[in-house]
Amino acid sequence: MSYMKSLISFLKSSITKMMPADNSLQALQNFLMIQMIAALILILMMAIIFLHLTIILHLLHYLPGERPYDEPIQIHYLGLMNIECSDCYALHFDCEKISKSTRAQKCFVICCLKGKVQLPTLPQWPQELQRLYENNQNFVHNIRQYNNTFAFTSLRVELDHHTVQG
């Protein structure tokens, strides 16, 4: 509090020293006009400095709230997916092998539980589909679009009306 009082008294004494010696109305008006011009110049300079800083920060994309978020880049490489399961022939990354594997015999449990799960072989394709796949390049080129088109055509739903209410 005493700091503020001393600052105010210093400002009063400074202004009193700057006041014109003759207390005429014209001298007082000139003094106040000079003080107003000085205050306006100071405000103008501050505005120019703020404008320059804003432009510089905008060019650097560092305005608060406008800075784009950059996700930290973490590179993680698992290597090639070229290790084949000896039981089901599924492809794996080297890091997916179990700890009991050897370099010569790599074992995996993600695919077939080391041969415990065996799926039946796939049946032969229908003759029409086999012929299209072997003889028609347009069919092979657009096969994904055909698959997407017919993806839900064979969907079958049986509602249990005992549980559906409303």
Q: Is the C-alpha dihedral spanning 21, 25, 30, 31 positive or negative?
A: positive
pLDDT digits over 27-73, tens only?
Answer: 777 777 777 887 788 788 888 888 877 777 666 665 556 666 777 88
Cβ atoms of residues 49 and 43 within 8 Å: no
Instruction: Please tell me whether residues 47 and 96 are part of one structural domain.
Output: no
Question: 97 and 50 in one domain?
Answer: no
Q: Number of structural domains, the chain? A: 2
Query: Which residues, 6+ apart, have CB-to-CB distance to 143 below 8 Å?
Result: 133
Range of the structural domain that residue 46 is part of = 22-66
Q: Alpha-carbon distance 122 to 54, whole Å? A: 67
Residues 62 and 28 in one domain: yes
pTM of the model: 0.37
Pick the closest to residue 90 from 68, 73, 113 (CA basis).
113
Of the ranges 15-24, 32-41, 101-110, which one carries the lowest mean pLDDT score?
A: 15-24
Assess if residue 36 is contained within a domain: yes
Domain finish residue from 14, 31, 66: 66
Percent of the chain with pLDDT over 70: 73
Average confidence (pLDDT) over 11-30 = 65
Could you tell me which residues are beta bridge partners of residue 92?
Answer: 83
Flag whether 61 is in a domain.
yes
**Of 6-20, 67-81, 99-113, the least confident:** 6-20
